A and B are shown apart, each in its own frame.
Chain A
Amino acid sequence: MISVTGVSKRYGDFQALDEVSVHVTPGALTALLGPSGSGKSTLLRIIAGLEVPDAGTVTLAGEDVTHVSPRHRGVGFVFQHYAAFTHMTVRQNVAFGLTVRKEPREKAAATVDRLLDVVGLTGFQHRYPHQLSGGQRQRMALARALAVEPSVLLLDEPFGALDRNVRNELRAWLRRLHDEVHVTTILVTHDQEEAMELADSLVVLNHGRVEQVGGPRELYDAPASDFVMRFLGPVTETPRGLVRPHELVVSAVPEPDATEAQVARIVHLGFEVRAEMESGDGSRITAQLPRAEADALELEPGQIVYVRAPHAPRPAEPDTEEDLVRV
């Protein structure tokens, strides 16, 4: 169990974290999600002990480690840019934690062999990091962090520097790995799709504060604020509030509670169609509907349609003015 309680951190007069409290379930994969500069890395580094908070406490497995050095915390940390030991081979990199702990040679060798196998780098063990691809380097970094059997695995945008295909592949691989190893994991990302796909639970940060905590479904279906709603997927504004474009119902004839709008543009997205419309008061509305539905309506620019949300827009509690402006 990782508990962060009331943690604040300032850099100069910039408040990077403002009384953040997060509690992570053991064995789960939690994603720290938020826009750039929201304090995700800072929070992760504080949990690892690479940064000391100005206020608040960090406990790992019930023990207050706020002022414990990173080397005694038993955390594995994976950096966005790998932080590979450039003068060591892949094997020496993975073995590093065991070497400095003076593990018996045979035992260490067996652990390293097993991990190289898990991350699929057995054939690369005598290479140097600069002879590896980005994805391979990151798998090496992961093996290195896992070698010391950390109680907690912390990943700071581990796939951020990789191209999309490799990223997707590693993502799936990480999830499988987590299901096998079950080490409590916190993953930092600013990619909501990645967070949704990987995590059991999400923590959304914004401006150094926790906006919401919950499972992927919970956050998507019941966002606590406009910010969370906008951050987790596309939204469109209706006169009654924010909705997801695919939830809007478009019809050719007037209906109760429906807003009249004129189609401005039709975008074909494969099996779905996005209709960009303008309502009478000049505000823009975007709807996304299955292709068959769009074809049935014979949607085309200039056409007048009637748009309504099937249920009350979320979030149920209207946000402050400030939140709306921020986004």
Chain B
Amino acid sequence: MAGRLVMRGIALAYLGVLLAVPVGMVMVKTFEPGPVAVWQAVTTPAALHAFWLTLLVTAVAVPLNAVFGVLAALVLVRGRSRLRPVLDVMVDLPFAVSPVVVGLAMILVYGRDGWLGGWLADAGIRIIFSVPGIVIATMFVCLPFVAREVVPVLREIGTEQEQAASTLGASGWQTFWRVTLPAIRWGLAYGVVLSTARAVGEFGAVSIVSGKISGQTETLTLLVEKRYTNFDMAGAYAASALLAVIALATLGLMALLQRRKDTA
């Protein structure tokens, strides 16, 4: 009994020191100058633009990744291709590679002197230092979440329900929409929430490919960093608080999903 209390104490203290205290401190610091100042700091044109840009990037990257993640999971679990192990490693790659390296790699591919750079420039497409680059970088770092959440669920449900559907006359498409997708919906939802959290908070890769042009390619995390390096601590805290609010909303959604998953 006492042992369990000690364990619980250690776990809580660990989480407290690592998470709760710093996040709490940001909130406290944010509101130190008073609510009016906070409001002004988060409603400057640059801050508003950063907020909307972050939402836009997330809104594009997360759905695309959700589709890709489900396809990848289907190939990984149901596929017979010999390339499966390769895909398996590829899906995990973003976990293993530092986002900064991802950013640099993108410069090598899409940059002015990059592999596709010349061709893209001729076609009038700009990727690096513009929004498409930010979207691609964000998609890359969020790639694993949906696939990794959906794969175990697909394994668990097995193939019998799908086979039953086919003997009952359902086409592959009907089977996917009516049987497979509903069966994996909680895993998918969970993966989407995790990707969203990651997309909103992404810094390293985006900081390299975006060019950090205020009012154009500056996301919320980049804004926080800029204000911090410019000794605008109050502004940095206010922008962080905005990020924290998005993160908390995402986490709340996740908790809600978890509850529904357990009762369903």
Which A residues have a C-beta under 8 Å from some C-beta of B? 48-50, 69-73, 75-77, 79, 81, 83-87, 96-97, 99-101, 141, 144-145, 147-148
Let me know if A148 and B163 touch, CB within 8 A: no
Question: At the interface, is chain B mostly helix, strand, loop or mixed?
Answer: helix
In the complex, whether B230 has a CB less than 8 A from a CB of chain A is no
Write the nearest CB–CB distance from B209 to chain A, whole angstroms: 41
Let me know if A85 and B167 touch, CB within 8 A: no
Write the nearest CB–CB distance from B30 to chain A, whole angstroms: 43
Let me know if B169 and A75 touch, CB within 8 A: no
Write the nearest CB–CB distance from B4 to chain A, whole angstroms: 33
Let me know if A70 and B161 touch, CB within 8 A: no
Most buried by B among A48, A69, A83, A144: A83
Give Cα distance in the complex from A14 to B160, angstroms.
Answer: 23
Write the nearest CB–CB distance from A105 to chain B, whole angstroms: 17
B125-143 with Cβ < 8 A to chain A: none
CB-CB under 8 A from B167, the residues of chain A are: 48-50, 70-71, 73, 75-77, 145
Write the nearest CB–CB distance from A148 to chain B, whole angstroms: 6
Write the nearest CB–CB distance from A327 to chain B, whole angstroms: 32
* 13 further A-B pairs in the complex, CB-CB below 8 A; given A70-B163, A87-B183, A96-B170: A50-B163, A72-B169, A73-B167, A79-B160, A83-B161, A86-B161, A96-B165, A96-B168, A97-B170, A100-B170, A141-B164, A144-B164, A145-B167
Let me know if B168 and A100 touch, CB within 8 A: yes
Chain A residue nearest to B165 (CB atoms) is A96
Q: Which 5 A-B pairs have the closest CB atoms?
A: A97-B168, A83-B160, A83-B164, A77-B167, A100-B170
In the complex, whether B179 has a CB less than 8 A from a CB of chain A is yes
Chain A residue nearest to B185 (CB atoms) is A87
Let me know if A100 and B178 touch, CB within 8 A: yes
B168-187 with Cβ < 8 A to chain A: 168-171, 174, 178-179, 182-183, 185
Let me know if B174 and A100 touch, CB within 8 A: yes
Give Cα distance in the complex from A70 to B157, angstroms.
Answer: 20
Let me know if B168 and A145 touch, CB within 8 A: yes
Give Cα distance in the complex from A97 to B164, angstroms.
Answer: 10
Let me know if A71 and B161 touch, CB within 8 A: no
Q: How many residues of B contact A (CB 8 A)?
A: 19
Most buried by B among A84, A97, A144: A97
In the complex, whether B40 has a CB less than 8 A from a CB of chain A is no
Given A77-B163, A83-B164, A85-B161: A97 and B169 interface contact (C-beta under 8 Å): yes
Write the nearest CB–CB distance from A15 to chain B, whole angstroms: 21
Let me know if B161 and A101 touch, CB within 8 A: no
Give Cα distance in the complex from A83 to B162, angstroms.
Answer: 9
In the complex, whether B98 has a CB less than 8 A from a CB of chain A is no
Write the nearest CB–CB distance from A320 to chain B, whole angstroms: 38
Chain A residue nearest to B174 (CB atoms) is A100
In the complex, whether B44 has a CB less than 8 A from a CB of chain A is no
Q: Which of A73, A79, A147 contacts B164 (CB 8 A)?
A: A79
Most buried by A among B161, B168, B170: B168
CB-CB under 8 A from A101, the residues of chain B are: 169
In the complex, whether B43 has a CB less than 8 A from a CB of chain A is no
CB-CB under 8 A from A50, the residues of chain B are: 163, 166-167
Write the nearest CB–CB distance from A107 to chain B, whole angstroms: 15
Let me know if B160 and A144 touch, CB within 8 A: no
Let me know if A148 and B169 touch, CB within 8 A: yes
Chain A residue nearest to B167 (CB atoms) is A77
0/1 interface trace, chain B 113-133, chain A, CB 8 Å (1 if under): 000000000000000000000
Give Cα distance in the complex from A76 to B179, angstroms.
Answer: 18
Given A85-B179, A86-B183, A96-B165: A71 and B170 interface contact (C-beta under 8 Å): yes
Given A87-B182, A87-B183, A100-B178: A71 and B171 interface contact (C-beta under 8 Å): yes
Most buried by A among B164, B174, B178, B264: B164
Write the nearest CB–CB distance from A76 to chain B, whole angstroms: 7
18 contacts between A and B (CB under 8 A): A49-B167, A50-B163, A50-B167, A70-B163, A83-B164, A85-B161, A85-B164, A87-B264, A96-B168, A96-B178, A99-B178, A100-B169, A100-B171, A100-B174, A100-B178, A101-B169, A141-B164, A148-B168
Let me know if B169 and A71 touch, CB within 8 A: yes
Give Cα distance in the complex from A101 to B165, angstroms.
Answer: 11
Write the nearest CB–CB distance from A60 to chain B, whole angstroms: 13
Let me know if B182 and A83 touch, CB within 8 A: no
Chain B residue nearest to A77 (CB atoms) is B167
Write the nearest CB–CB distance from B228 to chain A, whole angstroms: 47
Write the nearest CB–CB distance from B178 to chain A, whole angstroms: 7
B192-243 with Cβ < 8 A to chain A: none
Write the nearest CB–CB distance from B163 to chain A, whole angstroms: 5
Give Cα distance in the complex from A96 to B182, angstroms.
Answer: 14
CB-CB under 8 A from B170, the residues of chain A are: 71, 96-97, 100
CB-CB under 8 A from A148, the residues of chain B are: 168-169
CB-CB under 8 A from B169, the residues of chain A are: 71-72, 97, 100-101, 148
CB-CB under 8 A from A86, the residues of chain B are: 157, 161, 183
Give Cα distance in the complex from A97 to B169, angstroms.
Answer: 6
CB-CB under 8 A from B171, the residues of chain A are: 71, 100
CB-CB under 8 A from A87, the residues of chain B are: 182-183, 185, 264
CB-CB under 8 A from A145, the residues of chain B are: 167-168
Give Cα distance in the complex from A250 to B236, angstroms.
Answer: 101
